[in-house]
């Protein structure tokens, strides 16, 4: 029984914390999402290019 009370108290505290959060509006969310996806895309392309270059160098060395 005490375990149920602890769980109820935990969820009550979580609910109270979520009410205090200042959530971003839709425009802020879109701008942030575009920035994050752009940075991720840039680094994915960068790592792919560096990997291709190193693979080519390795194939020339260990031919």
pLDDT band at 1 (very low <50, low <70, confident <90, very high): low
Element (H, E) at 15: helix 2-20
Q: Please name the residues in contact with 24: beta carbons below 8 A apart, sequence gap of 6 or more.
A: 32
Cα–Cα distance, 35 to 27 (Å, whole number): 12
**pLDDT tens per residue across span 2-49:** 788 899 999 999 999 999 999 899 999 999 999 999 999 999 999 999
Is pTM beyond 0.85? Reply is: no
What Cα–Cα distance (Å) separates residue 41 from each residue in 20, 22, 59, 60? 33, 28, 27, 29
């Amino acid at each position: 029984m005490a375990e149920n009370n602890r769980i109820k108290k935990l969820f009550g505290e979580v609910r109270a914390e979520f009410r205090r959060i200042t959530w971003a509006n839709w425009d802020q969310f879109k701008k942030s999402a575009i920035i994050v996806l752009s940075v991720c895309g840039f680094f994915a392309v960068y790592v792919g290019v560096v990997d291709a270059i190193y693979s080519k160098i390795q194939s020339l060395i260990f031919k």
